[in-house]
Structure 1
Amino acid sequence: MTTLPDSQTDGALFGNRFVTQEVPSRVFPEGGMSAVDAMRLVGEDLALEGDPARNLATFVTTWMEPEAQRIIAENLHRNFIDHAEYPRTAEIEQRCIRMLADLFHAPGETTGARTQGSSEAIMLGALSLKWNWRKRQEKAGRPTTAPNLVFGGDVHVVWEKFCRYFDVEPRIVPLQPGKYTIGPDDVAPHLDENTIGVAAVLGTTFTGHKDDITGINDLLVRLKGERGIDVPLHVDAASGGFVWPFLYPHSEWDFRLEQVRSINVSGHKFGLVYPGIGWLIFRETADLADDLVFRENYLGKTDATFTLNFSTGSAMVLAQYYNLVRYGRAGYTYIMRNMRANAELLADKLAALDLFELIGRDEEQLPLTAFKLAGDVPYDEFDIAWQLSAERAWMVPAYTLPPNAQDVTIMRALVKETLSREHVDTLARDIGEACETLARKGGAHEYERRKVLIGPGH
């Protein structure tokens, strides 16, 4: 006589028991499950997420070569911070720092650190600005109780986080409609002897442009010569640090400028590495405040550490080195030019729709297309983003700009290595069809549009 299996055995034989059972989500599980069940459980959750190839919102790398993926997979177990046991990984980190310092035209011996991304790099770089400012103040017999940091509204939120976490006054230069970066005239009124530094952006998150870094540097040089106030310049090159050297090699924004003392860059953006890897590079060793470097020996040898976290994987450091030696200047230039060509093609196709205003496409810019509606239509940019996502699974963000340009809404499509010419053609066609659909049925966000039409408070 054949015995019918119970439901749990059925699941093991014929499928997945979580087809009908609620998944563990609130209480720590009493027992475990098979490796296959756990793998399928996680996989079914991830099946509901967006396709990274269609995610044109993220600056973060979503594809690497199989050889790089193999290096990553084979080194996930290696703890980067353990230099005593993994000295070659530590050497590879230093090779990357030296190569990036060369790429950014450091004048001589320098130093730096790998970080979890540009957020940690910015925290560390800004801490060094604060420590070095304090030393200058003490040497001059001035108080050290009211540090301030100057930056524009076009920065990443991490700059405001730094100021709040480490008790520094943020002096934020507001943007203006039609002016989405900052320059020397914007910065000058905010500078004084308590300014620990100025942060300028190379490749903003909002429109992909750069601040007038050369102009700000020239202002700081004059300030030092005329008033004896030495204000360093930090360049937040999270997105642009792997773009400008290859697309705009003659554009001066880096250590070629006298007051640029430190630069951060995200390897996991246009450095073409999976998250998370960032880099902080100093102009020279003296720009890293020595008091921020800790020395310990409980991992087997005396190591100097300059990080906010401690243990982290080695895989992305090795993946970054793989890319640097795999591509070199020629390879990165080729890839960046392809991205720019497709971004320009997308801009051309959007312009041909006679619906959009392209944002700063004739300026130096990251490989992206930033655009906003130019005419009076019964829908807005948020409607277009929703329609593209619902109908075609494209993730193209719509967002408002920071103060005082908060009334401006734009869209942005990142054009990365995986967005081919065929994809650009399809995306442009899908945007046009989304606008046609919205023109027929009206926008998707009735409440927001009604507020615009009849005014707030109704």
Structure 2
Amino acid sequence: MVLSSTLTGSDEYVQNIFASRYVRNPLPRFKMPESSMPKEAAYQVVNDELMLDGNPRMDLGIFTTTWMEPECDKLMMSSLNKNFVGMDEKPAPTEMENRCVNMIANLFHAPIGDDEKAIGVATVGSSEAMMLAGLAFKRKWEARRREQGKPCDKPNMVTGANVHVCWNKFGRYFDVELKEVKLEEGCTVMDPYKAVEMVDENTICVATTLGSSLTGEFDDVKFVHELLTKKNEETGWETPIHVDAASGGFIAPFIYPELQWDFSLPLVKSINVSGHKYGLVYPGIGWVVWRSKAELPEELIFYVNYVGCDQPTFTLSFSKGSNQVIAQYYQFIRLGFEGYKNVIGNCQENARMLREEIVKTGYFELVSKEVGVPLVTFSLKDNSKYSVFDISKALRRFGWMIPAYTLPPNVEHVAVLRVVVRMDFSSNLIDRLVKDIRIILEELDQSSPGETS
């Protein structure tokens, strides 16, 4: 978020020496220019500012896709001007969305039958998807409480402290208390016993995480389900489960098929997944799927006809581009189950290779586990001379962007580096990264503490 500011002097203008053959005067920084400029000049001005940004493929802290095939790039570029709304005039993207939702529901073992038929929607990333799922849980809980003649002014949601910040946003934006299970030393996922213990009559759902942003680990959704089922039977409550599978939803089905975490568990009512992570599409697209239409309150669906036909809509936004949905459909039919399995398998193999090389340096200990999202989270064995923040900063001179951060409360004394292994992070790049890390470690060893800050 950028706030407006009032500046004086040279800060008010953008200097454009390179484009001076077109632009003789500096551009105002925070006001629209009085006159137009040639398209070549405008392109050069903008391109020059973007040129110094880091290379997205060397940003190893992000989960989002940074490379797609040229054919998919062409499809996306050709549909940039196609608004997703208006299914009467532009039915193809809507049909592709419907196909993608059904493919995802099938992948997540959604029940098939007259009584239960999954529904879902494409969103702008998993953040919107999680908000929509949370709203559905809140409305269902409120309706149930009103039927029982009970107050519905204090809803809460049980999560782990390892959840994405989107759940914190949801709680604050929509007045839902987040009851977080604190992490412990050696346990960076949600403790099922503590989570279910926190559940009360005001709990709208238990939000589990399949692929923590911190360490890539999976919550034990199946065990949470077992404990919660027992508690519901004892209390008469109907507390459901949501699975935030933003990172792991396009991983587990392909390389951990024996893992039970999805709609095969009856209390799992909705799942979100990021198409722009291991769904292999550029940002930003997400998906949210409900196990049946009964899980999505009708009051949340709007019907509009001012874009050419009577169409239903349940999103936080309205107009959006069609190209992300088109790209997701391309990837599904291009790769198929076999292709995704190969891609994710290769990512896991590269993560294993990086994990081994990091350990070989002798400086680090691993925090992430092998089972989970293909990433490597590691901390320094000895941080008395320098920290992971120093290493992160020093690696930028080689172009690598690797985040350093502390874990949540209770384990905040643990500071880590995280490398996300994406489809475009090859074994050659792993070799180069490890060599650069070794160079940095050698330099930091030779420096005094004051020189490394």
Task: Answer whether TM exceeds 0.5 for this pair.
Answer: yes
From the superposition, tell whether residues 31 and 421 of structure 1 become closer, same or farther in structure 2 (CA, over 3 Å).
same
> What is residue 393 of structure 1 aligned with on the other side?
399
**TM superposition outliers: structure 1 runs of 4+ over 4 Å:** 14-21, 443-447
Asked if structure 2 preserves the Cα contact closer than 8 Å seen for 1:223 and 1:230, the reply is: no
C-alpha distance after superposition, 1:144-187 (max 9, x if no partner): 11111110111111101111111111111111222111132120
Asked if structure 1 preserves the Cα contact closer than 8 Å seen for 2:368 and 2:375, the reply is: no
2:442 is the counterpart of 1:436: yes
From the superposition, tell whether residues 23 and 394 of structure 1 become closer, same or farther in structure 2 (CA, over 3 Å).
farther
> What is residue 71 of structure 1 aligned with on the other side?
75
Counterpart of 1:124 (choices 126, 132, 152) is: 132
From the superposition, tell whether residues 212 and 442 of structure 1 become closer, same or farther in structure 2 (CA, over 3 Å).
farther
Q: Which amino acid aligns with 1:82?
A: G
Shift of 1:17: 4.3
Counterpart of 1:332 (choices 334, 340, 352) is: 340
Over the aligned positions, Cα root-mean-square deviation in angstroms equals 1.7
Counterpart of 1:408 (choices 410, 414, 422) is: 414
Counterpart of 1:249 (choices 257, 267, 272) is: 257
From the superposition, tell whether residues 435 and 287 of structure 1 become closer, same or farther in structure 2 (CA, over 3 Å).
same
Query: CA–CA distance in 2 between the matches of 1:439 and 1:20?
Result: 50
SS in structure 1 at match of 2:417: strand
From the superposition, tell whether residues 443 and 68 of structure 1 become closer, same or farther in structure 2 (CA, over 3 Å).
farther
Counterpart of 2:105 (choices 78, 83, 101) is: 101
TM-score normalised by L of structure 1: 0.92
> What is residue 367 of structure 1 aligned with on the other side?
374
> What is residue 5 of structure 1 aligned with on the other side?
none
> What is residue 85 of structure 1 aligned with on the other side?
89
Asked if structure 1 preserves the Cα contact closer than 8 Å seen for 2:19 and 2:41, the reply is: no
Alignment: residue pair count: 434
2:150 is the counterpart of 1:164: no
> What is residue 427 of structure 1 aligned with on the other side?
433
Query: CA–CA distance in 2 between the matches of 1:420 and 1:328?
Result: 22
Structure 1 unaligned spans of 5+? 1-10, 448-458
Asked if structure 1 preserves the Cα contact closer than 8 Å seen for 2:19 and 2:45, the reply is: no
2:335 is the counterpart of 1:355: no
Structure 2 unaligned spans of 5+? 1-15
TM-score normalised by L of structure 2: 0.93
Asked if structure 2 preserves the Cα contact closer than 8 Å seen for 1:177 and 1:408, the reply is: no
> What is residue 25 of structure 1 aligned with on the other side?
29
From the superposition, tell whether residues 18 and 121 of structure 1 become closer, same or farther in structure 2 (CA, over 3 Å).
farther
Shift of 1:223: 1.5
SS in structure 1 at match of 2:400: coil
> What is residue 139 of structure 1 aligned with on the other side?
147
SS in structure 2 at match of 1:264: strand
> What is residue 277 of structure 1 aligned with on the other side?
285
Shift of 1:442: 3.4
C-alpha distance after superposition, 1:285-314 (max 9, x if no partner): 111111100111111211110011000000
Asked if structure 1 preserves the Cα contact closer than 8 Å seen for 2:27 and 2:33, the reply is: no
Asked if structure 2 preserves the Cα contact closer than 8 Å seen for 1:183 and 1:215, the reply is: no
2:42 is the counterpart of 1:35: no
Q: Which amino acid aligns with 1:440?
A: Q
* Amino-acid identity (%): 43
Query: CA–CA distance in 2 between the matches of 1:209 and 1:40?
Result: 44
From the superposition, tell whether residues 161 and 350 of structure 1 become closer, same or farther in structure 2 (CA, over 3 Å).
same
Q: Which amino acid aligns with 2:445?
A: A
Q: Which amino acid aligns with 2:106?
A: D
Shift of 1:360: 3.5
SS in structure 2 at match of 1:341: helix
Query: CA–CA distance in 1 between the matches of 2:443 and 2:85?
Result: 54
SS in structure 1 at match of 2:345: helix
From the superposition, tell whether residues 27 and 445 of structure 1 become closer, same or farther in structure 2 (CA, over 3 Å).
farther
C-alpha distance after superposition, 1:109-154 (max 9, x if no partner): 1101100010000000000000011121122222111111110111
SS in structure 2 at match of 1:324: helix
SS in structure 1 at match of 2:391: helix
Asked if structure 2 preserves the Cα contact closer than 8 Å seen for 1:221 and 1:258, the reply is: no
Please say which of residues 234-243 and 182-191 is displaced more in the overlay: 182-191
